Amino acid sequence: MRSTQFWLESTIIGRATKSQQRRSAVTATVRLSTQSQTPIRLLPSIPRRLRRVAATICTDWVTEGHTEVSIVLTDDDGIRVLNAEWRGLDQATDVLSFPQFDLPVPRNAPCLGDVVISVETARRQAQELGNSLTDEMVILLVHGLLHLLGEDHEAPEDSRRMADCEGRWLKRFRIDSGLIQRTGVT
């Protein structure tokens, strides 16, 4: 059995660089932290994978310079408080995004915003759907990052576009279906 590690009020910073025949390299800093009253148990590979996924998407989005994104892992109580405060829904949810910019998001944005994921909800959804916790958290992270980049799923056309984008990214990370696809919102 693999050991678990506590991630309590920690910050882990990962960096990625992409240069595709460009003069200036594109870099991204991913800050991963936890905000929870109880310790969040995760295999060490999960935060590493989340940082890699976020850095890959961010460096693909930004056309020049440096950008930053924050990932906050919390519990159901923590995300419920945020959901009530910012969306008026007094209930836990799986993922929330807090973009730094209004639309359209600049391609040279120095900071894209924050993605908050409830590890408790991710764990339940992973069990219900037969996913690993890692894959479920990547699905939620990709969904949240796409919101930071200006994607939405309120209108049917927007939902189709976001589902396509989500699907392309998840395929790249070897995951079959995304959040929008499995909820049938498209």
- For residue range 91-141, list pLDDT tens digits in order: 999 999 999 988 888 888 889 999 999 999 999 999 999 999 999 999 999
Give the strands of the sheet with 95-99, arranged side by side: 11-18, 26-35, 65-74, 113-118, 95-99
Contact 151, 178 (CB under 8 A): no
Contact 132, 126 (CB under 8 A): yes
* pLDDT score, position 14: 52
Decide if pLDDT at 46 tops 50: yes
* pLDDT score, position 79: 96
Contact 134, 112 (CB under 8 A): no
| Average pLDDT score over residue span 63-89 | 93
User: Domain 5-14+24-183 - what CATH class?
Assistant: alpha beta
Query: Greatest CA span in the chain, whole angstroms?
Result: 48
pLDDT in tens, 8-43: 333 445 555 554 444 356 788 898 888 887 778 888
pLDDT in tens, 161-183: 999 999 999 999 999 877 666 66
